[in-house]
Chain A
């Protein structure tokens, strides 16, 4: 069955970096685009980034542009989110999701918590 499993979350100081991973199984990874979405504590969902199936196009929310980088490894069926220059307002649960293109988010992982605090 379709599975997406995020990892790499943790506690990091402001200005620090973290790389999140999303390991997928149960479908052909290389034929789908993927999203990252985050949810701050007791807040709503915020779209973060999207990458096309072949990595040819990437899109970012203004709040993370220039600091975060989405990438993928089609050989190892893994999606990544490199997060640099982290701020306290980046504290959230980060979810990866398989896209129906960029039109919708079809399957979601369970999320990984990132806490930015000194």
Chain B
């Protein structure tokens, strides 16, 4: 049972938009920055969004992040087949004094 809650899967047609939610509490998302990671099949995770809404260099602006209260959201627009992957949210939990990940969301392009 993950500390952060994500939907197990989302799907949409090519070119469409998907959003992935990440729900937590005041001890984690409510008072810390959120980051998002993409894990393509058989590869290591890759940073997509950090500090709630910032993109590292090289990450297209089709990917966006936001945070409100104790929830965060990853948005992917202009969906491509290459976006099929598992996506994870992560933040620091001040009560646990450690990092916590969401359970992951599988994105399927129909």
Closest-by-CB residue of B relative to A50 is B99
Secondary structure of the A contact surface, majority rule: strand
Q: Which of A46, A60, A100, A109 contacts B44 (CB 8 A)?
A: A109
A104 contacts the other chain (CB 8 A) = yes
Measured between alpha carbons, how far is A100 from B70 in the docked complex, in Å?
21
Q: Is A27 an interface residue (CB 8 A)?
A: no
Please count the residue pairs between chain A and chain B whose beta carbons lie under 8 angstroms apart in the complex: 70
Range, interface on chain B: 20 to 34
Min CB gap B63→A, angstroms: 14
Of chain B, the residue at the smallest CB distance from A47 is: B99
B51/A45 in contact, CB under 8 A: no
Chain B hits for A108, CB < 8 A = 44-47
Please, how many angstroms separate the alpha-carbon atoms of A59 and B59 in the complex? 29
The answer on a CB contact under 8 Å between A95 and B99 is no
Total count of chain A residues near the partner, CB < 8 A: 23
- The answer to whether A50 touches B98, judged by C-beta atoms less than 8 angstroms apart, is yes
Q: Determine whether the beta carbon of A59 is less than 8 Å from that of B44.
A: no
Q: Is the CB of A62 within 8 A of B44?
A: no
Knowing A44-B88, A45-B45 touch, does A105 contact B37 (C-beta < 8 A)?
A: yes
Interface residue stretch chosen among B10-18, B73-81, B100-108: B100-108
Nearest CB in chain A to that of B86: its residue: A44
Which of chain B's residues has its CB closest to A108's CB?
Answer: B44
Residues in chain A near residue B46, CB distance under 8 A: 108
Residues of B within 8 A of A50 (CB): 98-99
Q: Select B33's contact among A104, A107, A109, beta carbons within 8 Å.
A: A104
Residues of B within 8 A of A (CB): 2, 32-33, 35, 37, 39, 44-47, 50-51, 56, 86, 88, 90, 92, 96-104
